[in-house]
C-alpha cells in the first residue's frame, strides 16, 4: 500500500503531549513515524503532502451524528458526507439504531461507509425515526430493557453507548419512567448513557402533568452513573443547563464533580448566549458533537417526509450548513483555546467511547486516521438561530483526512462558507 508523508504541519496530539511542527509518515494504513521524517530513509518513495501552516490532528471524532440514512426518514444524513468528506474520520450515530434495527444499521450504513461509524444504541424500541418526531413512540412501554441490553452486548464492536432523552414534553407525558429504563440499560451494559437535554417534543395539549423545566436535571442526575453524558448544555430550549432565571442550574457542577461528562451536541439549537453563560460559570464541555441531521442542514428531503421538525423551529436560512470543524470554530469564538477544543474532538471523544487504545491519537502503529485543517486568523461573522452574532478571529476548515491511510478531500456540500465580518 501507499506511503504518505504529511510534511511540516502543526501536529497536536493531546494524548501524547505533542504540540509542534512535525512530519507524520503513514505506511500500509498505519502511522509509521512522527517527528523529523522528511529526508530520512523511512520516507523514501513516499508521496509528500506539504502541510506547512496546517493543523495535523488525530482523526476527528464526531460524538453526535445522525447517519441512519433513509431508515430514519429525512433525519439521517449520508455518513461520508458528515464523515470523511467533512474531514471527520469517526462518527457516532446518536440513537438512530435500536435493538430492532441495529442489524440494518450495521449492514447498510456502518459496513459500506468509508468513515468509521459507531452507534449509541437507542433506549427505545423504534430508535430515532424522523428524529423522534412522534412522541408517543417514546413512552415507557416502548422501551425494552432486556432486548436492548442483549443487542448492545452482542454488538460491542460498534455499540459504544446508549441514547436517551430527559425532556420537558416527555416528562409532562410520562415523568421519569423512560429515563429510569435507559439508566438501567446503561448499568447492565456498563456503557455510557448519552442524555439529550432541552425541550424536543411539544408539551401535550391535554392530560399532561405540569413540569418545572428546572426540575428535570434534578430528577435525572440521581439516576446516572459516572461517565454518563449530559448533552446540549448550550441549547436555547428550556430544561437544560441554564435555569429559567437565566442562571446556571445549581446541579450542573455537582453532576460534573460526580463524574458525569458534558457533550456540546452543537445542532441548530446552539445558542451563543446560553453558551457564554455556561462557560462563564466555569463549565467546559468534555466532547463536542455536531448534531447535524436532515432537519437542520440544507439537504434534499426524501419525498413525503415531514416539512419541519419541532426541535428546529425558528431555523434561519443560511445557518444550515455546518460540520464538526465549524462547531470547533464556534467554541473558539466564545473564547476557548484551540488547545482546549482539539481534545474534545479527539482524545476526550476516544475516552468517552472506551476506545483510547484505538482512536484519538497519532501514536506510532495506530491506524492512520488523521484530519488536516486550515488555520487562519481574521474576522468572520458567525450567527446562531436566535440571531445572535459573534466574531470569530480564528477560522478552521477541513482540507482532507486520511482514514486508515486512505485520503479523502473535504468536499461535502454542507460545509459552511465562512463569511468575512
Binding site for Zn ion (CB under 5 A): 291
Cα–Cα–Cα angle for 297, 412, 286, rounded to 5 degrees: 70
Output the smallest distance, CB 41 to Zn ion, in A.
48
Sheet strand arrangement including 60-65: 60-65, 88-94, 116-122, 159-166, 193-197, 229-231, 261-263
* Residue whose CB is less far from Zn ion, 263 or 291: 291
* Residue whose CB is less far from Zn ion, 295 or 400: 295
CB 267 within 8 A of CB 296: yes
Burial 190-209 (b: 16+ CB within 10 A, else e): ebbbbbbbbbbbebeeeeee
| Residue of this chain nearest to Zn ion (CB atom) | 291
* Residue whose CB is less far from Zn ion, 43 or 109: 109
Cα–Cα–Cα angle for 89, 357, 37, rounded to 5 degrees: 70
Output the smallest distance, CB 220 to Zn ion, in A.
17
Output the smallest distance, CB 85 to Zn ion, in A.
20
* Residue whose CB is less far from Zn ion, 155 or 235: 235
Output the smallest distance, CB 128 to Zn ion, in A.
8
Output the smallest distance, CB 94 to Zn ion, in A.
5
Of 66, 123, 70, 117, whose CA–CA distance to 99 is shortest? 123
* Residue whose CB is less far from Zn ion, 23 or 291: 291
Ramachandran region of residue 79, left (φ > 0), alpha (ψ -120 to 50) or beta?
alpha
* Residue whose CB is less far from Zn ion, 13 or 263: 263
Q: Residue 342 half-sphere exposure, CB side, CA atoms within 13 Å?
A: 27
Of 92, 89, 96, whose CA–CA distance to 115 is shortest? 89
Output the smallest distance, CB 66 to Zn ion, in A.
6
Output the smallest distance, CB 274 to Zn ion, in A.
17
Residue in this structure with the C-alpha cell 523514501, named with its chain if needed: 44
* Residue whose CB is less far from Zn ion, 5 or 82: 82
Of 60, 117, 114, 69, whose CA–CA distance to 93 is shortest? 117
Of 331, 241, 257, 320, whose CA–CA distance to 287 is shortest? 331
Amino acid at each position: 500500500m501507499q506511503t504518505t508523508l504529511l510534511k511540516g504541519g502543526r501536529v497536536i496530539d493531546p494524548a501524547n503531549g505533542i504540540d509542534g511542527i512535525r512530519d507524520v509518515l503513514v505506511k500500509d494504513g498505519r502511522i509509521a513515524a512522527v517527528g523529523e521524517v522528511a529526508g530520512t530513509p523511512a520516507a523514501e518513495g513516499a508521496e509528500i503532502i506539504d502541510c506547512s501552516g496546517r493543523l495535523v490532528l488525530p482523526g476527528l471524532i464526531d460524538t453526535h451524528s445522525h447517519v441512519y440514512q433513509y431508515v430514519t426518514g429525512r433525519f439521517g444524513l449520508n455518513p461520508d458526507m458528515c464523515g470523511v468528506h467533512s474531514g471527520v474520520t469517526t462518527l457516532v450515530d446518536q440513537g438512530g439504531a435500536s435493538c430492532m434495527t441495529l442489524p440494518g444499521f450495521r449492514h447498510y450504513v456502518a459496513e459500506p461507509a468509508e468513515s468509521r461509524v459507531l452507534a449509541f444504541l437507542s433506549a427505545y424500541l423504534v430508535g430515532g425515526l424522523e428524529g423522534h418526531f412522534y412522541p408517543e413512540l417514546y413512552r415507557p412501554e416502548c422501551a425494552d430493557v432486556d432486548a436492548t441490553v442483549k443487542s448492545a452486548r452482542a454488538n460491542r464492536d460498534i455499540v459504544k453507548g446508549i441514547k436517551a432523552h430527559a425532556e420537558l414534553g416527555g416528562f409532562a407525558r410520562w415523568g421519569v419512567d423512560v429515563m429510569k429504563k435507559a439508566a438501567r440499560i446503561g448499568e447492565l451494559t456498563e456503557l455510557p448513557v448519552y442524555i439529550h437535554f432541552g425541550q424536543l417534543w411539544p408539551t401535550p395539549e391535554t392530560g399532561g402533568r405540569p413540569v418545572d423545566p428546572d426540575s428535570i436535571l434534578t430528577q435525572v442526575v440521581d439516576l446516572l452513573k459516572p461517565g454518563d453524558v449530559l448533552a446540549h448544555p448550550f441549547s436555547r430550549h428550556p430544561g437544560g443547563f441554564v435555569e429559567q432565571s437565566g442562571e446556571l442550574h445549581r446541579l450542573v457542577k455537582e453532576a460534573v464533580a460526580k463524574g458525569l461528562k458534558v457533550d456540546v451536541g452543537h445542532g441548530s439549537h446552539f445558542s451563543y448566549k446560553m453558551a457564554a453563560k455556561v462557560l462563564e460559570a466555569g463549565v467546559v464541555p468534555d466532547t463536542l458533537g455536531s448534531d447535524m441531521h436532515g432537519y437542520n442542514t440544507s439537504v434534499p428531503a426524501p419525498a413525503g417526509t415531514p416539512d419541519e421538525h419541532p426541535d428546529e423551529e425558528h431555523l434561519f436560512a443560511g445557518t444550515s450548513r455546518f460540520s464538526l470543524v465549524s462547531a470547533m470554530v464556534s467554541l473558539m469564538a466564545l473564547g476557548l483555546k484551540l488547545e482546549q477544543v482539539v481534545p474534545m474532538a479527539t482524545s476526550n471523544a476516544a475516552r468517552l467511547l472506551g476506545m483510547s487504545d484505538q482512536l484519538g491519537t497519532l501514536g506510532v502503529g495506530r491506524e492512520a486516521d488523521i484530519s488536516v485543517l486550515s488555520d487562519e486568523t481574521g474576522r468572520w461573522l458567525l450567527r446562531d438561530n436566535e440571531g445572535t452574532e459573534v466574531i470569530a478571529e480564528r477560522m478552521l476548515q477541513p482540507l482532507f483526512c486520511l482514514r486508515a491511510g486512505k485520503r479523502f478531500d473535504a468536499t461535502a456540500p454542507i460545509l459552511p462558507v465562512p463569511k468575512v465580518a
